[in-house]
Amino acid sequence: MVVQVVNRPERSRFEAEVEGETAFLAYEVRGDTVDMPHTVVPRELERRGIAGELTRTAVAWAREQSLTIEPRCSYVRSWLAKHPEA
């Protein structure tokens, strides 16, 4: 499954629309840090790798912007631990 993730800076989140449902990873930039407090994937879309794609895209964006990531979301923390090269 290919998931297209889009940064919506006006909403401070990365979004993926799948089957008419929207999953997202929220963020807040403060100085040179980006806080990632939560990821939301509708129940009917769970277990399809959508949260991983949201996180992969958000982390890549943060690195490109030279931002330090504050992973308050437990999913983002776990993903970063599993992908230290990211």
Q: Phi, psi at residue 62, to the nearest 5°? A: -60, -40
Walk me through the domains of the chain, giving residue ranges and CATH numbers.
5-82 (3.40.630.30)
pLDDT digits (tens, 9 = 90+) for 7-47: 999 999 999 999 999 999 999 999 999 999 999 999 999 99
Structure-derived torsion over alpha carbons of residues 54, 57, 62, 68, reported in degrees to the nearest 10: 50
Output the pTM of the full model: 0.94
Q: Phi, psi at residue 49, to the nearest 5°? A: 85, 10
pLDDT digits (tens, 9 = 90+) for 70-85: 999 999 999 999 998 8
pLDDT of residue 45: 94
C-alpha closest to that of 13 among 32, 31, 34, 33? 34
